[in-house]
Structure 1
Amino acid sequence: MTTIKTVTLPDLGEGLTESDLVEWVVAVGDTVELNQVVAEVETAKALVQLPSPYAGVVAELLVEPGVTVPVGTGLLTIAVEEPALADEGAEPAPTAGADAPESTAPAAPERTAVLVGYGPLVEGSSRPRRKSRSADWAAAHAVADDVGLALSGGRIGPKVLPPVRKLAHDLGVDLNKMVGSGKDGMITRDDVLRAVSGVEVSPAARRPDALSAAHRPGLARPMKDAPAPTRPDAAARETRTPIAGVRKQTAAAMVASAFTAPHASTSLTVDVTPTLELLAQLKQDRALDGHRISILTLVAKAVTIAIGRNPSLNAHWDEAAGEIVQYGYVNLGIAAATPRGLLVPSIKDADRLRLPDLADAIGHLTEEARAGTTTPADLAGGTITITNIGVFGVDTGTPILVPGQAAILAMGAIRRQPWEFQDQIALRSVMTVSLSFDHRLVDGAEAARFLADVGGVLARPGTVLAMV
């Protein structure tokens, strides 16, 4: 028998109560397997892929992309084939060959599903008011009237990655009529663009900036029948983007931090030539092959060492409890600039990691942040943060504290310039490190000692032996 199951937005943890539906990975009539990704949602902290808790056929999509929905809201329904349920207290089934009256088991009531491992529903939540549907959206719902036909067909959708599926949706390309040129028949971005133009796509057209802003992460995505976005040189002279997702969360966090924690800052310019020489030696060490050790890795290690000598910078001001929370571990936040905005995933127990392991952790977190796959757990629990503004060619800055943290260190650009060295003027590699700190938790002298320790490690890496 066929039952209709409703898949709801799960509790994604970390106090998140709503998410933006970014895109559907499936369409009405698609056959889905258990734990197959059906949608992507954007929380205030991360882009999350939602798996299906059922195997069956998509009957209806209840929410349009771009809509913000609270936890517990129904997202889609799935038609599931289940064995008929026998009535309680029914007689045992007769033996083979015996006459048995026909009986029909009552249909199972519709149940609302919560994805396994994501927590319970939020009571009292309701479906948000929907936006006006486009013509193709209404047509898609009409397909749900014949769920039995979809079940009997057993159709499985084309092999295509979610971003390419979304691009095809926005450009009006029917993926079911395409043959992919990628590995194992995978439909690629170029396949979709060729289907639209009818000609080979030039290399310039393959660049991300050749596509409209509607296809970029974090921006509103129009339906198929929406008007094409105007070019910058057209009549429209301004573009409006909804404040949502990471940008909304970042703005709220920065305002809260700026107006609750009394910020103070200090900076130190350091001759990091010895650290760069050490870095060159480490890159030639065969024992470290496969580990991408960088200047950020060495600065991160210097910060963990300096915290061991200046623990007040690894603390939290608990206003509600009237307490100062001193951490006995270092969850090191690494600020990462992504197309969706600034994300700060943290490396748990960074002070306990060896240099190669620290390098691997930094690389893993930053890659996930830029790919939009960072989990809410990775974005929570940081105790102190590093931001590398030097990659943008900036020498120094005064970053705003991550809410709940006592300090944030900014790395500036490394520049070759004349510097005093062994009582002479020499061309050296110089970098400025800047520290912003919560003056409720950290005194000026403590901040200065911490920054001096970081600078000491970078200027004379051998002094680590005297610090640990």
Structure 2
Amino acid sequence: MTTQRFPLPDVGEGLTEAEIVEWRVAVGDTVAVNQVIVEIESAKSLVELPSPWAGTVTALLAEEGTTVDVGTAIIEITTDAPAGAPSDAPAAAAEETSGEGSGSVLVGYGTGEGAGGGRRRRRAAAPAAEVEAKRPTSMSGTSTSSARLDVDAPAPAPAAPAAPTIEKPMASVPATPGSSTTRVLAKPPVRKLAKDLGVDLASVHPTGPGGIVTREDVVAHAEGAAPKALATYPDDDQPWLASGTVSQDGRQTRVPVKSVRKRTAEAMVASAFTAPHVTVFQTIDVTKTMKLVARLKEDRDFADVRVTPLLVAAKAMLLAVNRHPQINASWDEAAQEIVYKHYVNLGIAAATPRGLVVPNIKDAHTLDLLGLAKAIATLTSTARAGRTQPADMADGSITITNVGIFGTDTGTPILNPGEAGILAFGAIRRQPWVHKGKIKARWVTQLALSVDHRLVDGELAARYLADVAKVLEDPARGLVWG
């Protein structure tokens, strides 16, 4: 028998770290080859990792919720193979992962091209023995166990005499939170309670005689630091505060920036300060589009898909790309080249409980209206379930974001990195509109197109947006342009 350690592999994004989301096995479980053992979160996707060996789980080396580097061992499995057998190969190969994402790749996930490196986040918890070794020495009194106090104090100099026994709590200096010379008086049961609640005794304000930290002090401090509802938000509508820490006065909650929110922030900052954005706007009458949507909802072929104005807008974008292919491009800074794409991978911005993701429909230009409707439905349901894979978000060419679903008229969208255009589709409202020389109530919306001005001049942006608008104003035009 031999013990194998499975290193965290690069799942095909070129990242250097990932978060352990959920273990699917426990110590003592028997696992088979390719059995899912853990779910990890990397960038904007959740990925299930299979076991490369059959055997018994002897140790889980990383806790749920921690972030570990690629190549770091995360699980220990005892197999029947003798030491040095070929079963060592998967682990050895995974340990060769380089910082550039060119190392080992988990079977079933291709190596991503051009993916950026990961960022340092919270490290996995140190082994218990190491933590114990680093724990500061404490002095304890010699009175009866019910009255004995433990005192935290700075380590004495090597030549200093042994610490004196504490007989009277009043002779000790009261705790002063935040001081480098803090001495904390507390009975052993209170210290155990603080440890169980994750409370640092040095930060607790003592109210007992002589500066003793009491049980009530620890409980009050823990309750004050626990996540709580804020006066400005409904109690049942703030799941994003669950992982945060509330200030003692209850006026602030601090939540670590991680996962999707962190990656989205990085991408948006990089895009905003790399590509010079220009946004053009157009207000249009989409009454005919609304009539088409109503007819399609009654069509037997579209009975199993959701038909919305967004579907028509997406089709209009594809038709306009065919007329203005220059907008379907990207800027390669390293090679100093413009890359014109002969395909359209249409990105759909999707708001999910985990944050904003932008998966794209591969080769969307080859789909008819029904095929496009099915693709959008699959893409959005997968994104909201948190199952979008890295490949689904790679190599996008142009994106649409439906801000109108939230009642917003329009906005100035930020480009998805690596793309030259993004269209914001605003809310559709009944408004007065001049139609055939008369003022009538019509369905009206606003479009906003942001482009990378390095690639797209103002004229091209205006012409492209005008063609999208023409199809939305009269969807029959798509029969001629298609």
> What SS class does the counterpart of residue 392 from structure 2 fall into?
coil
- State the shift of 1:37 in Å: 2.3
C-alpha contact (below 8 Å) 1:275/1:458 kept by paired residues: yes
2:277 alignment counterpart: 263
Runs of 4+ in 1 over 4 A off after TM superposition: 106-110, 132-135, 209-216
Distance 1:36 1:271 in 2: 55
> What SS class does the counterpart of residue 11 from structure 1 fall into?
coil
For residue 7 of structure 1, what is the amino acid of its counterpart? F
1:296 to 293, 310, 327: 310
1:280 correspondence with 2:294: yes
- State the shift of 1:57 in Å: 2.3
C-alpha contact (below 8 Å) 2:67/2:123 kept by paired residues: no
2:330 alignment counterpart: 316
Distance 1:292 1:409 in 2: 21
C-alpha contact (below 8 Å) 1:33/1:54 kept by paired residues: yes
1:131 correspondence with 2:125: yes
2:268 alignment counterpart: 254
- State the shift of 1:344 in Å: 0.4
Distance 1:74 1:253 in 2: 29
2:349 alignment counterpart: 335
1:71 correspondence with 2:70: yes
Instruction: Pick closer, same or farther for the CA change 1:76–1:386 going to 2, 3 Å.
Output: same
Instruction: Pick closer, same or farther for the CA change 1:318–1:417 going to 2, 3 Å.
Output: same
Distance 2:44 2:432 in 1: 43
1:427 correspondence with 2:441: yes
Q: Tell me the alpha carbon deviations over residues 290-327 of structure 1, each in whole angstroms, 9 at most, x when there is no partner.
A: 12222111111100000111112110111111111111
TM-score by length of 1: 0.71
2:365 alignment counterpart: 351
Distance 1:298 1:407 in 2: 18
C-alpha contact (below 8 Å) 1:21/1:64 kept by paired residues: yes
> What SS class does the counterpart of residue 347 from structure 2 fall into?
strand
Instruction: Pick closer, same or farther for the CA change 1:23–1:260 going to 2, 3 Å.
Output: same
What does residue range 206-217 of structure 1 map to in structure 2 within 5 Å?
213=239
C-alpha contact (below 8 Å) 2:345/2:395 kept by paired residues: yes
For residue 317 of structure 1, what is the amino acid of its counterpart? W
Distance 2:444 2:455 in 1: 30
Instruction: Pick closer, same or farther for the CA change 1:324–1:19 going to 2, 3 Å.
Output: same
Unmatched tracts of structure 1, length 5 or more: 86-105, 121-127, 139-208, 221-228
Instruction: Pick closer, same or farther for the CA change 1:270–1:43 going to 2, 3 Å.
Output: same
Distance 2:123 2:266 in 1: 25
C-alpha contact (below 8 Å) 2:349/2:356 kept by paired residues: yes
C-alpha contact (below 8 Å) 2:67/2:124 kept by paired residues: no
C-alpha contact (below 8 Å) 1:4/1:110 kept by paired residues: no
RMSD of Structure 2 on Structure 1 (CA): 3.1
Give % identity: 55
Distance 2:470 2:330 in 1: 26
Distance 1:459 1:62 in 2: 59
For residue 338 of structure 1, what is the amino acid of its counterpart? T
1:48 alignment counterpart: 47
Distance 2:294 2:53 in 1: 52
Q: Which has the higher contact order (CA 8 A, sep 6+)?
A: 1
Distance 2:238 2:272 in 1: 35
TM-score by length of 2: 0.69
Unmatched tracts of structure 2, length 5 or more: 95-105, 112-121, 133-234
Q: Tell me the alpha carbon deviations over residues 350-391 of structure 1, each in whole angstroms, 9 at most, x when there is no partner.
A: 011111111111111111111111100001110000011111
Distance 1:210 1:418 in 2: 39
Distance 2:28 2:237 in 1: 29
For residue 389 of structure 1, what is the amino acid of its counterpart? V
> What SS class does the counterpart of residue 351 from structure 1 fall into?
helix
1:409 correspondence with 2:409: no
1:463 correspondence with 2:477: yes
For residue 286 of structure 1, what is the amino acid of its counterpart? R
Instruction: Pick closer, same or farther for the CA change 1:261–1:461 going to 2, 3 Å.
Output: same
1:398 correspondence with 2:412: yes
Distance 2:87 2:296 in 1: 61
2:108 alignment counterpart: 117
Instruction: Pick closer, same or farther for the CA change 1:45–1:73 going to 2, 3 Å.
Output: same
Instruction: Pick closer, same or farther for the CA change 1:415–1:319 going to 2, 3 Å.
Output: same
1:57 correspondence with 2:53: no
C-alpha contact (below 8 Å) 1:293/1:356 kept by paired residues: no
1:178 alignment counterpart: none
1:389 alignment counterpart: 403
Q: Tell me the alpha carbon deviations over residues 215-255 of structure 1, each in whole angstroms, 9 at most, x when there is no partner.
A: 97xx58xxxxxxxx77x9x8433222222222111111111
C-alpha contact (below 8 Å) 2:305/2:377 kept by paired residues: no
2:388 to 363, 366, 374: 374
> What SS class does the counterpart of residue 312 from structure 1 fall into?
helix
Distance 2:463 2:32 in 1: 57
Distance 1:13 1:313 in 2: 29
> What SS class does the counterpart of residue 452 from structure 1 fall into?
helix
Distance 2:252 2:30 in 1: 42
What does residue range 60-209 of structure 1 map to in structure 2 within 5 Å?
60-82=59-81, 108=85, 111=88, 113=91, 114=94, 115-118=106-109, 130-131=124-125
- State the shift of 1:6 in Å: 1.6
1:436 alignment counterpart: 450
For residue 286 of structure 2, what is the amino acid of its counterpart? V
C-alpha contact (below 8 Å) 1:10/1:119 kept by paired residues: no
For residue 63 of structure 2, what is the amino acid of its counterpart? E
- State the shift of 1:212 in Å: 9.1
1:362 correspondence with 2:353: no
1:141 alignment counterpart: none
> What SS class does the counterpart of residue 28 from structure 1 fall into?
coil
> What SS class does the counterpart of residue 445 from structure 1 fall into?
helix
- State the shift of 1:213 in Å: 5.0
1:242 alignment counterpart: 256
Distance 1:119 1:264 in 2: 35
Q: Tell me the alpha carbon deviations over residues 250-288 of structure 1, each in whole angstroms, 9 at most, x when there is no partner.
A: 111111111111110011111111011111111111122
Distance 2:416 2:239 in 1: 29
Distance 1:16 1:259 in 2: 23
